[in-house]
Amino acid sequence: MEKERKKQIIKLCVAIITFAIIIILVATIMIRYQVEGDKNMPFNLSKIILISTAEGNETEDEEEKSDERWNFNVEQNNDVYFYIDKNENYKGEEKTIKSVIIENINITKAPAKGEIKAYMPNSTEGRIYDNTEEYLVNEKLEYKGATESNPQTLEIGRNGGSALIRFSNVSIGKYTSNKDKQITHDGTLLKKIDITNDEAKFTVSFDLVITVENCKYRANVSLEMPCGDITEEGTCSIEKTDMSDIIFKRESL
């Protein structure tokens, strides 16, 4: 009787230890997933390029016009390029991109001066962007999977490509003068309206969502803009290839 009772106790201890090990393993996997995200995606965000500059746009308000040689609103522009490529190490059924969406845009740190707005690429011939109401991004910007990438039609290659968006400070200041014979439309305009690089700085965050067959992958991206010291350099750019801080997690459709 005593021997049988000991056997039962041993079995119970083994069961408890086994259960505890399973719980620890599951918890470890879950914590690792939260920290590292999905490591077996069919497509990877391989590169982000950010280009920062500024330009002046003639005022359309008749009351603000004057006899000055120069009279325009200054806008500080930040163009973001996302490059999404096939994951050569992907283990699973071959997938294609159905869409890439930029949504949940949030200005987590506002600039000292101005107002930030997001714009989609221009759908007409000419400049890539036209900072007008027609091209404002409100709730989200969606690129549909296609044969190849085409920003004007909001399409991205099914087997990989690029997606674009612009974040602009549209109310950073006005420039009125009759002293300058020529004006360079770049970041040096900020000095002419007494805006420092620090006063122009802001941080934007948003979700980048890559949708393939049967599932989608979501990551939050946070970027500080403008990059570099555009008040001195005029136009600055950075290329981000280290994506360790951008964690994609799988979601069901």
Write the pLDDT tens digit of every residue in 101-119. Answer: 999 999 999 999 999 999 9
Q: What are phi and psi of 65, to 5 degrees?
A: -75, 150
- Residue range 138-193, pLDDT digits in tens: 989 999 999 999 999 999 999 999 999 999 999 899 988 777 777 888 899 999 89
The mean pLDDT of 64-89, rounded to a whole number, is 84
pLDDT for res 253: 75
pLDDT for res 35: 45
The mean of the pLDDT values for the chain is 86
Plot region of 128 (φ>0 → left; ψ -120 to 50 → alpha; else → beta): alpha
Q: Is the pLDDT of residue 19 over 80?
A: no
The mean pLDDT of 63-74, rounded to a whole number, is 67
The mean pLDDT of 79-89, rounded to a whole number, is 95
The mean pLDDT of 214-235, rounded to a whole number, is 95
- Reference 192, options 243, 252, 253, 234; nearest CA is 234
Partners of 219 in the β-ladder: 208
- Reference 180, options 78, 77, 53, 56; nearest CA is 56
- Residue range 125-142, pLDDT digits in tens: 788 999 999 999 998 999
**Confidence label for 10 from pLDDT (cuts 50, 70 and 90):** low
The mean pLDDT of 7-14, rounded to a whole number, is 66
The mean pLDDT of 209-233, rounded to a whole number, is 95
Q: Is the pLDDT of residue 98 over 80?
A: yes
- Reference 78, options 144, 148, 172; nearest CA is 172
pLDDT for res 33: 45
pLDDT for res 58: 77
Weakest-pLDDT range from 65-79, 82-96, 146-160, 238-252: 65-79
